[in-house]
């Protein structure tokens, strides 16, 4: 019974979402409102990025700064596979080819996540941050040197296959994945690692194993975002995937609240829209980001939502159909602080 309910909960969003997205897309296409289409797609991609990074940074409490590297791996793989099957080669329609290519991109990124995660996840917070940053840079360096990937010129002239439907499906998939993970046994293990890694290990949780798993999943979805990005831009260049990209995703996750899916989604939406609205002040964008981050850490480090979700808000809890949920409590640990390594400092 629980299994069936779980499957239903996973599939239902797609059953509802896909028709809605198709309808939305047909509407937008007919109006020819290209600008809003791009905004919506950007929002969708940022949601994928923020939620996937949240799995590692938020759920597991590990600080990764190399998200852009996995985006690059996913993006380039998707591009190459899509090119190979372009124009109906091997009997695949373009949409099917794109879907398959995206999955390939996710797989490649997941593999990269494994390669990066295994040696790094033994390290503590600060070191992990630098190492993931380093891996991100190494991946970009490699891409710049490989002829088949177009080196610095990149792969240009890619078909513009990304549309609202694909992005929406990707976003739904990411959110469903994160939610299913959060309420599962594996998710509990991740939260335990976040709260107190040593205690978790003592309780028999395979910390390294779970950390690697979280990393791989997060990387896979970053790869999905990468694949969508290169087919939006119709260009895959190493410069699109630098450290600053990783940092922008980190800001989204921190703003939303490390550990909150709702927070990540909301922060992604807010920041994407704000960016567009403030295009005139482009110059100040990064400075504002930085100040925002500092102010946030000093005043409200848990971000907008902390570790809570939308349905944990007091207002929402009072809604009639949510009443019986109130007893269960929020998924994830009660404290709303940003959790990482606390300095025990050799207390006696």
Partner 1 sequence: MRFLRVVAAAALLLSLACSKKESAEILIGHVASLTGSEATFGQSTDNGIKLAFEEINKAGGVKGKKLVLKTLDDQGKPEEAQVAATRLIVNDKVTALIGEVASSRSLAMGPVAEKNKVPMISTASTNPKVTLDQQGNTLKYVFRVCFIDPFQGTVMAKFARENMKISKVAVLRDVGNAYSVGLADFFEDTFKKMGGEIVTDQSFKAGDQDFKAQLTKIRETNPEAIYVPAYYTDVGLISRQVRELGMKVPLMGGDGWDSEELYKISQGALNGSFFSNHYTTESPDERVKSFIEKYKAAYGSVPDALAALGYDAALVAADAMNRAKDLSGPAIADALAATKDFKAVTGNITLNEQHNAVKSAVVIAIDNNAGKYAATVSP
Partner 2 sequence: MTEFLQHLVNGVSLGTIYALIALGYTMVYGVLKLINFAHGDVYMVGAFMGYYLAGFWRLGGAASAGGGATPGSVVRAFLITAASMVVCGFLGYVIERFAYRPLRDRPRLTALITAIGVSFLLEFGFQLNFRGSNFPPGPTPRIFPTLFEGHDTGWLSALGVNLYTTDLLTLGVAILLMVLLQWIVYRTKFGTAMRAVSFDHQVAGLMGIPVNRIISWTFVLGSALAAAAGILFAVTRPRIDPLMGLMFGLKAFVAAVLGGIGSVPGAMVGGMVLGLSEEFVAGYLLSSYRDAIAFGILILVLVLRPSGLFGRTTVEKV
- Name the residues that contact partner 2, by CB under 8 A: 61, 63, 119-120, 122-123, 125-127, 129-131, 133-135, 137-138, 141-142, 144-145, 198-199, 243, 247, 250, 254, 283-284, 286-287, 289-294, 297-298, 301, 337-347
- The count of residues interacting with partner 1 (CB under 8 A) is 31
Interface with partner 1, residue 154, by CB under 8 A: yes
- When the beta carbons of 40 and 55 are compared against partner 1, the nearer one is 40
Which position has the token pair 């998200």? Answer: 67
Q: CA-to-CA distance for 101 and 77, rounded, in angstroms? A: 8
Q: Which is nearer to partner 2, 33 or 297 (CB)?
A: 297
The yes or no reply on residue 310 touching partner 1 (CB under 8 A) is: no
Task: From the list partner 2, partner 1, none, pick the one residue 69 interacts with, judged by a Cβ distance below 5 to 8 Å according to partner type.
Answer: none
Angle, helices 207-233 vs 94-120, to 10°: value is: 140
27 part of the interface to partner 1, by CB under 8 A = no
Q: Are 223 and 43 in contact (CB under 8 A)?
A: no
Those residues with Cβ within 8 angstroms of residue 298's Cβ, 6 or more apart along the chain or in another chain? none
Give the one residue of 162, 240, 260, 307 binding partner 1; rule: CB under 8 A.
240
* Partner from partner 1, partner 2, none contacting 289, C-beta within 5 to 8 A by type: partner 2
198 scored as a contact of partner 1 (CB under 8 A): no
Q: According to CB under 8 A, which one of 58, 117, 238, 257 is a site residue for partner 1? A: 238
- Judged by CB, which is closer to partner 1: 95, or 145? 145
Cβ atoms < 10 Å from Cβ of 42: 20
Work out what residue 340 binds among partner 2, partner 1, none; the CB cut-off runs from 5 to 8 Å by kind.
partner 2
Q: Please check whether residue 139 is in contact with residue 112, taking contact to mean a CB–CB distance below 8 angstroms.
A: yes
Is residue 233 a contact residue for partner 1 (CB under 8 A)? yes
Identify which range of 50-58, 62-70, 213-221, 238-246 contacts partner 1 by CB under 8 A: 238-246
237 is a contact residue toward partner 1 (CB under 8 A) = yes
SS3 163: coil
Exposed e or buried b for every residue in 22-33, given b needs 16+ CB within 10 A?
eeebeebeeeee
Could you tell me if 326 and 287 are in contact, meaning their C-beta atoms sit under 8 angstroms apart? Answer: no
The sign of the torsion formed by the CA atoms of 16, 270, 308, 67 equals positive
Are 220 and 107 in contact by the 8 Å Cβ rule? The answer is yes
Q: Among 2-10, 107-115, 149-157, 329-337, which window interacts with partner 1 (CB under 8 A)?
A: 149-157
Distance CA(234)–CA(268), nearest Å, equals: 22
Of 163 and 302, the one with the shorter C-beta distance to partner 2 is: 302
254 binds, among partner 2, partner 1, none (CB under 5 to 8 A by kind): partner 2
**Alpha-carbon distance 164 to 36, whole Å?**
10
Burial of 193 (0-12, 13-18, 19+ CB in 10 A): buried
| Interacting residue ranges for partner 1, rule: CB under 8 A | 33-35, 38, 83, 86, 144-145, 151-154, 156-160, 229, 233-235, 237-240, 273, 276-277, 279, 282-283
């Amino acid at each position: 019974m629980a299994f069936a309910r779980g499957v239903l909960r996973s599939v239902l969003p797609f059953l509802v979402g896909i028709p809605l997205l198709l309808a939305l897309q047909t509407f937008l296409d007919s109006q020819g409102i290209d600008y809003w289409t791009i905004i919506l797609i950007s929002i969708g991609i940022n949601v994928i990025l923020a939620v996937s990074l949240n799995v590692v940074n938020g759920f597991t409490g590990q600080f990764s700064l190399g998200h852009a590297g996995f985006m690059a791996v996913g993006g380039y793989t998707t591009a190459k596979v899509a090119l190979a099957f372009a124009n109906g080669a091997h009997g695949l329609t373009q949409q099917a080819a794109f879907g398959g290519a995206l999955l390939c991109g996710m797989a490649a990124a997941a593999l990269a996540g494994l390669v990066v995660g295994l040696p790094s996840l033994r390290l503590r917070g600060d070191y992990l941050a630098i190492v993931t940053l380093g891996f991100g840079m190494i991946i970009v360096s490699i891409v710049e040197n490989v002829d088949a990937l177009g080196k610095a010129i990149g792969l240009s002239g890619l078909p513009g296959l990304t549309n609202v439907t694909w992005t929406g499906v990707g976003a739904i998939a990411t959110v469903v994945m994160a939610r299913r993970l959060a309420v599962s046994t594996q998710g509990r293990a991740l939260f335990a690692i976040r709260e107190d890694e040593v205690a978790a290990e003592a309780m028999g949780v395979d910390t390294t194993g779970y950390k690697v798993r979280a990393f791989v999943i997060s990387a896979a979805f970053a790869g999905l975002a990468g694949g969508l990005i290169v087919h939006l831009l119709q260009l895959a260049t190493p410069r699109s995937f630098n450290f600053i990209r990783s940092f922008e995703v980190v800001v989204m996750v921190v703003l939303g609240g490390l550990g909150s899916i709702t927070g990540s989604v909301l922060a992604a939406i807010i920041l994407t829209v704000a960016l567009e609205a403030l295009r005139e002040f482009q110059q100040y964008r990064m400075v504002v980001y930085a100040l925002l981050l500092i102010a946030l850490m000093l005043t409200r480090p848990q971000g907008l939502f902390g570790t809570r979700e939308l349905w944990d808000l007091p207002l929402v809890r009072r809604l009639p159909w949510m009443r019986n949920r109130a007893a269960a409590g929020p998924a994830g640990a009660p404290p709303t602080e940003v959790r990482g390594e606390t300095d025990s400092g050799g207390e006696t």
